Chains A and B, each alone.
Chain A
């Protein structure tokens, strides 16, 4: 009995350590963003702000993040790109997933294998050809170029995951609907869609996060500061020599917040999607 108590205490202690390691940088980001400069640059750092202030948030939201362009502009660009990616992505992914899960067609297996392989292609390796392609299409320095590319990146995963959801809907249900005289479109809209809605939410959030966080393509495809997305603006904003850490942390917190919220909603699905089939149960 004694030994059990000990090992239990050790496990709890380890748990606390892991939690601290995981949370600390995030905590430090938020904490720094709420400190007055005096405390940020003091000789003895304090874990919690003594005189919490929203000054840095006011600076970030009120002033210019980069010369002539405010935080709101970058935030809006990021939001436009992410939301457009999600909307277009959900529609296409749902149709494709239904096709793959419900109908047998030639190259179906090839398509599935391609979905897997494509996910693993390093996007970083495609920057150069996509850059030239975007230029040729006349989309250079537009948000549309990013939407197009993010769509392509998030689709394979979305289709792969939705496929599972669609396949889980019993066929009988659809057949019953058809017997009752529903058209194919009605069946899809009234029967299938409500049942795969949770999956759709999960994949949407995944696409949103992909688009929201992406840096390398946004860095390459955009040249006008007014078009920058938030991550691009951040690299320039804090790349200056006299880094205003308080403001940088405030901006980072604002960038992180939407992702955090969405992520906590989606994480379950993401794990089971990525490790799908790995565990028989």
Chain B
């Protein structure tokens, strides 16, 4: 009941709200909500800025899922190969990154990229001037606005998010690898298959369900990144780096509040994720039946 009341009802309500023109006045009293029909959606879908935001979100999610999966899988395979002691050390290290709350993780990365005393700024300053100039066109990085241009901003955000999410993939893949019969891999090796072929022909097909679920979960998580972005951008002022979650939040809560319009954006985000979720639920149910 609680779950239904607190999650399904708001879900219905956000859809209902998205069809109204809601501002501060509606929030205060018992004033009727002015009906807006599809106006909010028309306004958003017709807005070129929304299309930019949507493109940013999709590109960001795609890049992050891909990087997280590749890095996570590689680390998972690595953990499976390492000796017992080494594997424990690496796994603990990886878990530490995972355990870090999103907010402190983002704050630390922001400090690393601080434009005066940050370690990364120092590293780039330490590059030979000629090399730095040839690569980036300037040699002095002090005061460089790491978070001002969308390109560097999204690169750093990607770094932060991948750093935070690859451990989960690595640990899950490792758990899956433990279930692959050693004889199968041995047989493949005897038959002369290299690591590349062994992975694609044996490991990957066996672990396909694991990979499927990991991809779906990562997609969902990366689509709605909020905390890290909020921290790195220092709030919601910088429109050039908006993605759907933060866009919806900013429209609804920065003055003047437009709850209806924000809801419409939230509905669009939800629909995208529900589509991905449908895939996830089908996978899990199929496995429950198969098990």
Contacts and interface: CB of A to CB of B under 8 A. Distances in A.
Interface string B51-89: 000000000000000000000000100110111001101
The 10 closest A-B pairs by CB, nearest first: A152-B6, A263-B99, A19-B93, A125-B266, A120-B277, A129-B10, A129-B13, A22-B97, A277-B287, A124-B245
Interface string A112-138: 011111101111111111111101000
Nearest to A156: B3
The size bracket of the interface on B is: 35 or more
5 contacts: A14-B78, A18-B78, A22-B163, A124-B224, A238-B107
A113 B281 CA distance: 7
A26 B74 CA distance: 22
Contact of A235 (B90, B210, B223, B230): B230
A183 B226 CA distance: 49
A132 B259 contact: yes
Residue from A18, A118, A123, A148 with most neighbouring chain B CB atoms (10 Å): A18
A280 B81 contact: no
Given A129-B13, A256-B101, A21 B163 contact: yes
B280 interface: yes
Nearest to A22: B97
Given A126-B11, A263-B99, A267-B171, A152 B262 contact: no
Interface in B267-291: 267, 269-270, 273-274, 276-277, 280-281, 284-285, 287-288, 290-291
Contacts of A25: 97, 100, 105, 108-109, 112, 163
B19 interface: no
Main secondary structure of the interface of B (DSSP, over half): helix
Interface stretch (A37-45, A48-56, A186-194): A37-45
B285 to A, nearest CB: 7
A125 B265 CA distance: 8
Given A151-B2, A248-B111, A278-B287, A267 B98 contact: yes
Contact of B107 (A123, A248, A274): A248
B89 A19 contact: yes
A48 to B, nearest CB: 13
Contacts of B96: 22-23, 26, 260
Contacts, number: 264
B267 A125 contact: yes
Listed residue (B101, B210, B214, B269) with the most chain A CB atoms within 10 angstroms of its CB: B101
Interface of B: 2-11, 13-14, 17, 27, 75, 78-79, 81-83, 86-87, 89-90, 93-105, 107-112, 114, 116-117, 119, 122, 163, 167-168, 171-172, 175-176, 179, 207, 209-210, 213-214, 217, 220, 223-224, 226-227, 230-231, 234-235, 245, 248-249, 252-253, 259, 262-263, 266-267, 269-270, 273-274, 276-277, 280-281, 284-285, 287-288, 290-291
